[in-house]
Chains A and B, each alone.
Chain A
Amino acid sequence: MKNLLRFFILIIPIGGILFFYNILTEDKFYPGASFKNTSVPQFELLSLQSKSPLINDDLNNEMLLNVWASWCITCRIEHGFLMKLKSEGITITGLNYKDEASDAIDWLNLYGNPYNYNLHDLKGSLALDMGVTGAPETFLIKNGVVLVHYSGEVNQAIWDKVFLPIIQDNEMFK
């Protein structure tokens, strides 16, 4: 017994490993995801392409709001996934953030358009009100209420772990 006593010191690193494993595999462990139920703030912006005015009532009942810009490289990378979501019938509205309209429209023409339409937030005022600090960021919205706010690139893994559970719980996009 005395001989084996010294192996007990291994409890320390093993304990640490198990502890960190637990944290990393917790469902809520996604830096960048926040799940507060807040309403979309009041806004009045122009549509990027048609230039017609848009307000809160114009938003779809079930939608994603994707914050993007032509100067944002990570948005380029996220773009492919957004196109895939569009093909699956998910409604995505764009919040074009601090971007010149002509640059944004050229970008959409060049790479493809996953958005039903875009809110042109040149000064970033709606973004500011929604707590946006950069691009890309994505909001899951149901009936004017933000269910998920994700900061960062959304890919299949993030979609599955962060968005899908909330979508299923709220029976969205049926």
Chain B
Amino acid sequence: MIGEVSHFFSILASGLFFLSFVFSIRTYSGNHNLEVLVSRVFSYGFSFILISFLLYVWLAIQSDFSIRYIAEHSNKDLPTFYKISSIWSAHEGSMFLWILFLAGWSQLFNYSLSKNDLLKAPAIGVLAFIIFGFLIFLLFTSNPFETILPIAPTNGADINPVLQDPALVIHPPFLYLGYVGFVIAFAYNTAFLIKGDMQINWESVIRSWSLAAWILLTIGISLGSWWAYYELGWGGYWFWDPVENVALMPWLAGTALIHSLYVSSRSKVLRGWTILLSISVFSLSLFGAFIVRSGIIDSVHAFANDPQRGLYLLAFSAVLITSSLTFYVYRLPQLVSKNLVVAKSKESFLTINNILFAAAIFAVMLGVMYPLIFDYLYDERISVGPPYYNTIFAPLTFLASAFLVFSVGSLWQRSSKLFFLKSFLSMSIIFALIVTMFSVYFYQEYQWWFIGGIFSGFLILIRYFFLIVDSFMKKNYFNKSSATAHIGLGVLILATTLNAALSYEKIINIKPGETYKGDAYEFFLIDFDLINESNYDSVQAKFSVKPIDSPKEVFFMFPEKRKYFIRGQITSESAIKITPLKDIYMTLGDQLESGYWVVNIQYNFLIRWIWIAAAIMCFGGFTALIERLRKS
């Protein structure tokens, strides 16, 4: 009964969004009466989709197994939190969540944008069209309301223990909030391009929205990386998996967008770039959704589906992307500024930044597409692994860091002298070189990427150090948010470089009562515990670990191997010891006939600092957002 009501509200919502879109078309010719109607009908559409979703959440909490999707992904014995999160654990439900977030962001925009804004009605119309298209997709090809009748199963599917993890559960919502947030920029820009009034100051409208979406997307990706690290047992934080890559590309475009927006809004140059980036971010999100949900990529965590879904998504994305790009190309001559970008001005460095980011996006896209093209042409399966991406990203990052540092202290619309002897830039370069040479010598690492990474990272940090101290002493203004975020970037570069250079692992055979002596620690295997929980049995190793340099500070680690009854699934729970500079990461392997156990001990240097760096970048973005909101 409630299932039908929820379904009905979704259908009603689609109708309302369609109506809002239709009304919006008339507003291009200046019919102002309809403008208010566009907005109001949209609000009703949002309320209905919200009600529909909340009712669906109720169905999940109540374990209504007459609903096929809930029966397939939830279970009576799940804690309520996981009953709710089971909604977005697979295709249909996660699509529903995606639509809810699209509607939510759009409604927030609808509510907060002044009704005098010339582009409001057209933009809301575009948003309505997008939501309508996705709702049709949901209702016709991926219906979460499908029922199993007349007899509903008494209990749901057996639950996958891997899915019952807090980080895994909140990672998709943050990710979707991020992707979907960029739809505002997309819609507003598309409306701008259709309308063609070049005087409209669209940059100031979309800056805050894009910044907010960027922060959420960064958090979403970082959460995914963190979860993968502690759960998957590899000790890695990024795998260049196709599904990760399609999440990275919108992020790269989004980062470029917020920088380009900064320039366009100040100097009225780079408008063409900015709008192209704005279209690209959402287009790349659509591309990502398509790749993951169509079954084209046989990746470790793609949803397996039938071609019908892929075809619909392809068609819908095609309509959105080609129409927005066509309007873009059509208006391009009017968009391009008459002014030239002055060499060695801040604008010039940010232009180069756009180019570098475009190259990065192109490289990742190529890595994702190449196996598909190769298979299609030669019927041979290939994969593109981490070495390719690392080879491309390292030099691009180093170049970007160099230009970033040039741009600190550069001027708007005027050239600046960069390298005179006593400039901060020259001093930073010298200090960074010294630190790099020292690191190379100390760690005996001579690889090009190590040298490049240490140099770039420290160059950024040292330059900003000078900036902060100098501004503080002279009581000058400097952009604090930008400084924070870029310091985060410097930390990120250093952390990833050192993590790659210094981390290592040792695989050992050990038996209870024995000690393994590592480089810095002694590992003593006390014994094994057999643990019986309600849904699993586990074998837990008890290690006491003694740091060789400080033998009094012994600590314990408990890597486990679990066997869940219901699925017969075996999982390894790694033991992680966090220290300021590194993680000790232990994974229990298999037991040998001799009574020995295989154990993997990894030393992951500076891995926590990677996520700390991401958090610093987000904090920088957050302060920038607060400041913009305060100004308006």
Query: Chain A: residues with CB nearer than 8 A to chain B?
Result: 3, 6-7, 9-10, 13-14, 16-17, 19-25, 29-32, 71-74, 76-77, 110-111, 152, 157-158
Contacts and interface: CB of A to CB of B under 8 A. Distances in A.
A23 B322 contact: no
Nearest to A157: B306
A72 B158 CA distance: 8
Contacts of B118: none
Contacts of B372: 19, 23
Given A10-B325, A10-B326, A77-B148, A20 B296 contact: yes
Contacts of A158: 306
B507 to A, nearest CB: 28
Contacts of A73: 68, 71-72, 148, 153, 156-157
Contact of A6 (B148, B290, B311, B329): B329
A7 B331 CA distance: 11
B106 interface: no
A30 B318 CA distance: 22
B259 to A, nearest CB: 22
A172 to B, nearest CB: 24
B329 A7 contact: yes
A3 B333 CA distance: 9
A10 B318 CA distance: 11
A110 B151 contact: yes
B251 to A, nearest CB: 20
A24 B153 contact: no
Given A19-B373, A23-B372, A24-B311, A32 B304 contact: yes
B15 interface: no
B295 interface: yes
A11 to B, nearest CB: 11
A19 B72 CA distance: 33
A73 B304 CA distance: 17
A32 B295 CA distance: 10
A21 B314 contact: yes
Given A19-B376, A23-B376, A24-B294, A13 B321 contact: yes
Interface string B286-320: 00001000111010000011111011001000100
B329 A157 contact: no
Contacts of B294: 20, 24
B296 A23 contact: yes
A77 B157 CA distance: 13
Interface in B64-99: 68, 71-72
Contact of B158 (A14, A71, A76): A71
A73 B67 CA distance: 11
B153 A22 contact: no
30 contacts: A6-B329, A6-B332, A6-B333, A7-B326, A10-B322, A10-B326, A10-B329, A13-B321, A14-B322, A16-B369, A17-B322, A19-B376, A20-B290, A20-B314, A21-B311, A21-B314, A22-B376, A25-B307, A29-B295, A30-B306, A30-B307, A31-B295, A31-B298, A73-B68, A73-B148, A76-B148, A76-B153, A77-B148, A111-B151, A152-B304
Contact of B72 (A29, A30, A74): A74
B143 to A, nearest CB: 12
Nearest to B317: A17
Contacts of A111: 151
Nearest to B321: A13
Given A10-B322, A17-B322, A73-B71, 12 more contacts: A6-B332, A6-B333, A16-B369, A17-B318, A19-B373, A23-B372, A24-B311, A31-B298, A31-B304, A72-B157, A76-B148, A77-B148
Contacts of A20: 290, 294, 296, 310, 314
A24 B310 contact: yes
Nearest to B308: A157
A31 B153 CA distance: 27
Contacts of B153: 73, 76
Given A10-B322, A110-B151, A158-B306, A24 B296 contact: yes
A38 B222 CA distance: 45
Nearest to B69: A73
Interface string B143-164: 0000010010100111000000
A17 B314 contact: yes
Nearest to B566: A71
A151 to B, nearest CB: 9
Interface in B112-154: 148, 151, 153
The 7 closest A-B pairs by CB, nearest first: A31-B295, A17-B318, A24-B307, A73-B157, A24-B310, A73-B71, A73-B72
B253 to A, nearest CB: 14
A17 B307 CA distance: 14
A59 to B, nearest CB: 28
Nearest to B365: A16
Nearest to B72: A73
A13 B284 CA distance: 11
Contacts of A22: 376
A76 B376 CA distance: 36
